[in-house]
């Protein structure tokens, strides 16, 4: 059995989708559905069972999963970068992950977990996923810090030689619909064009960046799922790895591609950045994926244009609300 926490969420449900494509259905999905619409992500997926995340942890701590588990892919977390409750983030993202990692080590279960590119902070110390650089980074928000804390804890306890931590960059694509303000710019831009005929981007507050020329490493979720399963297929490859395209693109370019996918002339407006995020805003991110390539990952990565066109034309435009097998 393969356990996927956060399996009803954005990246998690895409991982289950990819597992289904590979003929894997013996999957336990762990999540917390609450009042959100992410339950809809489960409708097209095939899996053995679903369990609430708190009940799952109780069972793990009681020893209910000592055998029969091949791998634990831990994507579950609060990913809201504006969340202010530090205690909640520490319990949900840090302590919870520690418990699962310890269980996996005890029971010889393959453990793959989601870290985040947000752990790199403002990028002053680069985007290296080498172990020797781990202690340099200074996250800009509490979400990022909760992820960074586990990376550091895993290294201090010698676990990075037997588990895989994945630093996801800016992932977008199908099944992110439930994420509210944490959804990608692609879906927000699509909705804004449909409603107003334009896209609003943040003005730059740094002279070295023109408006809309701030850059991100945008990764299609289908590639994120494929990269994650590379570590399932190669259990001897461990440590922290960047999960991105290795190429930074501007917000202007992303916006223009959404217009192009809709066959509409671009109309971009620039608005002031909210005061509450000015100090924690990343102006540039770009994954160094050389370590991933050295580990043997050879699958082609979807270009930004192809990814945006697929998402807009095959999911958003026809209003397909889930990724199907």
Q: Quick count: other Cβ atoms within 10 Å of Cβ 275? A: 7
The token pair at 204 is: 């730059």
Residues in the chain: 325
Q: Where do we find the tokens 């520690």?
A: 98
How confident is the model at residue 322, as a pLDDT?
61
The token pair at 123 is: 């990028």
Q: Could you say which of 40, 98, 179, 291 is catalytic?
A: 179
pLDDT tens digit sequence for 197-223: 999 999 999 999 999 999 999 999 999
8-state DSSP, 270: E
Q: Could you say which of 96, 103, 127, 143 is catalytic?
A: 143
How confident is the model at residue 321, as a pLDDT?
62
Nearest to 24 by CA among 12, 32, 16: 16
pLDDT tens digit sequence for 95-111: 999 999 999 999 999 99
Is-contact 64 121, C-beta < 8 A?
A: no
8-state DSSP, 276: H
Q: How far apart are CA 72 and CA 1, in angstroms?
A: 9
Ranges in the chain, pLDDT < 70: 321-325
Nearest to 217 by CA among 194, 251, 259: 251
Q: Output the pTM of the full model.
A: 0.95
Active site residue 143: yes
How confident is the model at residue 278, as a pLDDT?
81
Active site residue 263: no
How confident is the model at residue 324, as a pLDDT?
60
Is-contact 80 36, C-beta < 8 A?
A: no
Q: What angle do CA 38, 41, 42 make, to 5 degrees?
A: 110
Is-contact 164 112, C-beta < 8 A?
A: yes
SS3 173: coil
Domains and CATH numbers, the chain: 2-172+218-247+283-301 (3.40.50.720)
Q: How far apart are CA 51 and CA 65, in angstroms?
A: 13
| Termini Cα distance of the chain | 19
């Amino acid at each position: 059995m393969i356990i996927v926490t956060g399996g009803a969420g954005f990246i998690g449900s895409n991982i289950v989708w990819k597992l289904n494509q590979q003929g894997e259905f013996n999957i336990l999905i762990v999540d917390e559905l609450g009042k959100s619409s992410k339950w809809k992500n489960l409708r097209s997926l095939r899996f053995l069972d679903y369990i609430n995340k708190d009940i799952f942890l109780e069972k793990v701590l009681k020893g209910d999963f000592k055998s029969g588990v091949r791998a634990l892919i831990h994507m579950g977390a609060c990913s809201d970068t504006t969340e202010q409750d530090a205690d909640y983030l520490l319990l949900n993202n840090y302590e919870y992950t520690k418990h699962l990692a310890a269980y996996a080590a005890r029971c010889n279960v393959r453990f793959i977990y989601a870290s985040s590119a947000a752990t790199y902070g403002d990028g002053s110390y680069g985007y290296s996923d080498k172990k020797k650089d781990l202690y340099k980074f200074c996250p800009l928000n509490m979400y990022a810090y909760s992820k960074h804390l586990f990376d550091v804890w895993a290294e201090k306890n010698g676990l990075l030689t037997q588990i895989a931590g994945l630093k996801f960059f800016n992932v977008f694509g199908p099944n992110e619909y439930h994420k509210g303000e944490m959804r990608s710019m692609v879906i927000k831009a699509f909705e804004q064009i449909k409603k107003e005929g334009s896209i609003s981007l943040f003005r730059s507050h740094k002279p070295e960046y023109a408006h809309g020329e701030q850059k991100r490493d945008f990764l299609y979720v289908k590639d994120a799922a494929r990269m994650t399963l590379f570590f399932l297929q190669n259990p001897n490859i461990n440590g922290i790895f960047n999960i991105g395209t290795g190429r930074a693109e501007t917000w202007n370019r992303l916006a223009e591609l959404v217009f192009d996918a809709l066959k509409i002339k671009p109309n971009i407006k620039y608005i002031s950045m909210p005061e509450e995020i000015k100090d924690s805003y990343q102006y540039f991110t770009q994954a160094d994926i050389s370590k991933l390539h050295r580990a043997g990952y050879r699958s082609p990565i979807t270009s930004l244009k192809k990814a945006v066109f697929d998402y807009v034309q095959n999911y958003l435009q026809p209003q397909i609300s889930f990724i199907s097998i």
